[in-house]
Each structure stands twice: as structure tokens, then as C-alpha cells.
Amino acid sequence: MSFAELLDHVGGMGRFQIIYAILLALPVFMTASHHLLQNFTAATSEHHCHDLLRVSVPMDSNMQPVKCHRFVTTQWQLLDSSATVINLTELETEPCADGWVYNKSIFTSTIITEWDLVCDSRQLKQMAQSIYMVGILAGGIIFGGLSDRFGRRSPLIWCYLQMAVTGTSTAFSPSFTAYCIFRFLTGMASSGIAMNGVSLSVEWTPTRTRAVVSTMHGYCYTIGQFILAGVAYTIPNWRWLQLVVSLPYFICFIYSWWFAESARWLVIAGRPDEAVKQLQRVLRSNMQKETTSAKSSYTFIDMVRTPVLRRISFCLCFVWFSTSFAYYGLAMDLQNFAVNIFLIQLVFGAVDFPAKFISVLTISFIGRRFTQALTLILAGLSILANIFVPQDLKILRTVLAVVGKGCLAASFNCVYLYTSELYPTVIRYTGMGLSNTMMRLGSIIAPLVKMLEEYIPFLPLIIYGAAPIISGIAATFLPETLNVPLPDTIEEVETRLKEREREREREIAQTRNDMHD
């Protein structure tokens, strides 16, 4: 009897699984806040040199103060309205030397205003976000290996505590360096929470309800974006905002001690007695299939050692990288749309509802492979279309970006479930760790690619759009997992695909014979 059959045997998606899935999904609300937090804590307000505005700071073509320069000498004659017209372009200027004055009508305090991350230091804003994403990458590597070795429960509990402590510490950062260090550690914990939460839910969920549970996690992330917009609007001070989205993880840490270890992992780890306690009514003799692989140890090499898993790993690397790369390229640049930042955050969050609803329908009834490929290709086309839209058509540009973001959200919704189903239990966390690594590489590179627009304005959009299209094509080479039980061993993965290929060949041969007849 397989584990999936055992879950159905002991009640399927019963009260335990429902409560378990809800408690694992709750922290995801604040995960969205941390991922997109710098849209608000690092918002760049209007600014100019800390000098007498009229006589010391030149105006640009829109009669707004220039942000990064001042006159070398004070131009007192500018106060005299009857004086001869002066050609301001001929007056010598220099970089701001005494700091900046910021418009605090929307945000009373951000890391930009606190540490003057403007003008020559403006790239530090993007660097801070990339450092956070590097932390998520490191967390995926570290916690991915620990989870396959020591189980899902213990690393998850630790990640809740680390998220709470380092997130709270970020709010009290005395310097930009300390801020980056704490954000890095927060990113590590966020990665462990995301991977453990999804995997624990999937491993405790019967085959027929996996898509629904996975989508519920996706919707929690979506609702989290709404929560972030509301909280950020209410709390314009970055330190208080950082604190509010971090403290709830202390509650998660407390209730997480109730969590049960994945019984599926316990069986694979050679601890069937503990698994029996988790399953209660199920006898140890029912688990003979899974215990055959308990004596073996597995490493990263096993993901590329056999032909089918090698293909799966390479294709998923493309999918995870480009989905994250394009997603954060859009989601972390809200100020670029020249629309109210709180409104655009709500719109970007709202599009996830129809996108994920449609995706769960296609995932459940058409298949994972179709959904994955379609959402990525549509996302890439939406992003590329913006290259041909003039800058003054703000609404159309925003609509195309929102459509692209919705498709990428649907892609995320699919790929989390798809990855868990493609990798066998013995290396599922190692596989999720590799996927997480590629995802975080994408999110790290995304802010850096944004810098290229200073040289070629449309180049970032070309790169953001081409990546998901290429990965969408790569997704068509993945095997379908619709209504297929979770594999537990590498041999199962290899055998299933070979059997399907043989069946397809028989069907083709039968079709040809029928045509001859």
C-alpha cells in the first residue's frame, strides 16, 4: 500500500490536515510583506540639496528642484524679480555637500531619507533588495539540506524564530550595513518557511486535494500584498512598519511546536514507528513499499544522475529562475508607473485572485505542464508588449504590467505544486532547494538588470520578457503529474515516464494499424 493510499485509508483530507494546512498558511501573509517591503521602506521621495532653495538649488525643465546638484556660489540675484533674465544653464553647479531635504508628505521616514541613499548612493537601494534575495538563496541551500536530513518540523520552527528575531532587529538597525545584515538573515528564514510550509502541506495532503492546498498558500501570499498596502499606508515610518510585519512570527513560533513531523519523511528516513504514531490507525506492515528506500542516502548528484530526473531538474531551473526574475522585475518597481504607490500595490495584489483561480482550474482539469508553459509565455509577451507603448500612455502600460504580473503569480502557484510532485520523497527537499536557489538567483539579478535602463531604456523589458518565454518552452519538456500519486523513490520517477512513453508508442502504433485497416 502506498502512502497516498494510506492517507485515504485514515480519512483523507480530515480535520487534522485542514487545521495543519491553515496553520502552515498563516505565516505566508507576512512573507509577502517582507518580500515586497522595500517598495515602501525604501521609497524614494522628492528631494533636493539642503540649501536655500531659490538661490542655491537650480530648477529642471519642469521647474522642479534638481535632486543632486546645487550652485557653486549663492545666486542672490534670483530673488530680484526685476533683474535681467539669467541663463541658469551657464551657472556652475556641484554635487550636494550638506545633505538633502526630502518631501515627507507620503512617507515620514524611509531607509532612503535616513541614510541618504540618493544621487551617487542611489544604487544601494537596489543592492539592499538583492542582499535580501541572496539571504533567501542561502536559506534555500542551507535549510533544504537540513530538512531532507533532519525532517521538516525542526527547521521550520527555527525559521519562525529566526524570522521574528531578525525581522524585529531590522527595525532597530543603527546603520545601513546592519540593516543589510539583518535583512539577509530574514531572507534566509523566509526561504525556510516557504519551502517547509509548502512541502509539509503537500506531504500530508491526499493526491486529489494537493492543487487546492497549494493554491490556498498562493492566495495567502496574494492577500498578504493587500495587507502590506494597508499597513504601509497606515504606518508611514519604515521602522514601525518593519516591526509590525515581523512581530507576528513570534506567535507562529509558539504554535509551531504543535506541528507533527511529516509521516512520509519519517518512513523514508527509516523511522516507521514514529510514522505509525503520526498516522495512528495505520499498521507498520502497510509501509513496506516506502521502507525499501530507507537504507539509502541521497545527495544533490542524484537529481542529475538519471535521465528523467536530469531533464526535470534542468527544465525546473529555467522555470524557477525566469518566473522569479520577471516577477520581481515588475513587483519591485512600483514607483516607475507614476501612479499612487498604494493603489498600484493593491492592483498588483488584486490581479492574483483571478490569475490563481484560473490557474487552479487549469492545473486540476487540464494539467500542470500546460498551465506552466502557458502562464510563462503569456507573461513574457505582456512584458515585451510594453516596449512598444509610449511612456505617456500610463494606463495601458500599467494594464500590460498587471497582466504580466498576474501570469507570473499563476506560474508561481503552479510551479510550487509541480516541483513537489515531480521530485520523489527521498530528494524532494533537495530538489526544492535547487529550485529555490534558481528562484533566488532570479530575484537577486532582477534589481541589477533594472539599472541597465540608464543606458538603454527598453533593455530591461526585453530581458524580463524573453526569460519567461524561453522557460515556458522548456516547461513543455516536463512530464505531466495530473492525478498521479507522489513518487517516493528515484526508480518510480524513471519508471513512470518510460511506461508512459511505451504506452504512447503503442497508441501511435495502434493508430497506424487502424489507418491501414
Length of the chain: 517
**pLDDT tens-place string over residues 165-205:** 999 999 999 999 999 999 999 988 888 887 777 777 777 77
496 assigned to some structural domain: no
Return d(Cα 404, Cα 165) in angstroms, integer: 35
Q: Give the three-class secondary structure for 283.
A: coil
**How many angstroms separate the Cα of 115 from the Cα of each of 25, 176, 395?**
35, 7, 33
- 446 in the same domain as 471: yes
Looking at residue 443, what is its pLDDT? Answer: 83
397 assigned to some structural domain: yes
**Which range has the top average pLDDT, 457-461, 473-477, 501-505?**
473-477
495 assigned to some structural domain: no
34 assigned to some structural domain: yes
- 359 in the same domain as 465: yes
CA angle 22, 24, 29 (to 5 degrees): 85
Cβ atoms 315, 474 nearer than 8 A: yes
Closest listed residue to residue 202, CA positions, set 194, 193, 214, 190: 214
Looking at residue 384, what is its pLDDT? Answer: 92
Q: Is the pLDDT of residue 289 over 70?
A: no
Q: Is the pLDDT of residue 58 over 70?
A: no
Q: Is the pLDDT of residue 286 over 60?
A: no
Q: Is the pLDDT of residue 90 over 80?
A: no
Q: Is the pLDDT of residue 57 over 70?
A: no
Return d(Cα 506, Cα 517) in angstroms, integer: 16
Q: Is the pLDDT of residue 218 over 80?
A: no
140-160 in b/e form (b: 16+ CB < 10 A) is bbebbbbbbeebbbebbbbbb
Looking at residue 282, what is its pLDDT? Answer: 38
Q: Is the pLDDT of residue 413 over 70?
A: yes
- 68 in the same domain as 11: no
364 assigned to some structural domain: yes
CATH number where 8 lies: 1.20.1250.20
Q: Give the three-class secondary structure for 172.
A: coil
- 350 in the same domain as 246: no
Query: Sorting pLDDT into bands at 50, 70 and 90, what band is 499?
Result: confident
- 246 in the same domain as 361: no
Q: Is the pLDDT of residue 14 over 80?
A: no
Looking at residue 374, what is its pLDDT? Answer: 95
Dig out the grid coordinates for 495 from the structure: 519508471
Looking at residue 3, what is its pLDDT? Answer: 54
Return d(Cα 252, Cα 158) in angstroms, integer: 11
- 391 in the same domain as 451: yes
- 53 in the same domain as 38: no
- 383 in the same domain as 323: yes
292 assigned to some structural domain: no
Q: Which residue has the cell 532653495?
A: 53
**pLDDT tens-place string over residues 369-398:** 999 999 999 999 999 998 888 877 888 888
Q: Is the pLDDT of residue 340 over 90?
A: no
Count of C-beta atoms within a 10 Å radius of residue 207: 19
Q: Which of 199, 232, 260 is the last residue of a domain?
A: 260
Question: Of 466 and 507, which is predicted with more confidence?
Answer: 466
Closest listed residue to residue 24, CA positions, set 275, 330, 256, 319: 256
Dig out the grid coordinates for 221 from the structure: 501570499
Q: Give the three-class secondary structure for 102.
A: strand
Dig out the grid coordinates for 347 from the structure: 492592483
Closest listed residue to residue 42, CA positions, set 164, 129, 133, 163: 129
281-298 in b/e form (b: 16+ CB < 10 A) is ebeeebbebbbebeeeeb
Looking at residue 103, what is its pLDDT? Answer: 78
Looking at residue 220, what is its pLDDT? Answer: 82
456 burial (CB, 10 Å; 0-12 / 13-18 / 19+) is: exposed
**Percent of the chain clearing pLDDT 90 (strictly above):** 18
What integer best gives the mean pLDDT of the chain? 78
**pLDDT tens-place string over residues 119-175:** 777 778 878 888 888 888 888 778 766 776 777 778 888 989 999 999 999 999 999
Q: Is the pLDDT of residue 80 over 70?
A: no
- 81 in the same domain as 165: no
129 assigned to some structural domain: yes
**Percent of the chain clearing pLDDT 70 (strictly above):** 74
- 32 in the same domain as 54: no
Looking at residue 408, what is its pLDDT? Answer: 92
* In 306-350, alpha helices (H): 307-331, 341-350
Question: Of 166 and 338, which is predicted with more confidence?
Answer: 166
Question: Of 51 and 318, which is predicted with more confidence?
Answer: 318
The reported pTM is 0.62
**pLDDT tens-place string over residues 236-285:** 888 999 999 899 999 989 888 877 777 666 766 677 667 666 665 335 43
Closest listed residue to residue 418, CA positions, set 363, 344, 342: 363
Cβ atoms 37, 58 nearer than 8 A: no
Return d(Cα 241, Cα 212) in angstroms, integer: 32
205 assigned to some structural domain: yes
- 78 in the same domain as 9: no
Cβ atoms 179, 168 nearer than 8 A: no
Query: Sorting pLDDT into bands at 50, 70 and 90, what band is 72?
Result: low
Question: Of 11 and 352, which is predicted with more confidence?
Answer: 352
Question: What one-character DSSP code corresponds to residue 148?
Answer: H
| Three-state secondary structure readout of 338-381 | CCCHHHHHHHHHHCHHHHHHHHHHHHHHCCHHHHHHHHHHHHHH
CA angle 39, 45, 48 (to 5 degrees): 150
User: Could you tell me the residue range of the domain that residue 96 belongs to?
Assistant: 47-102
- Counted domains in the chain: 3
Looking at residue 368, what is its pLDDT? Answer: 92
- 360 in the same domain as 249: no
Return d(Cα 144, Cα 31) in angstroms, integer: 18
Question: Of 218 and 397, which is predicted with more confidence?
Answer: 397
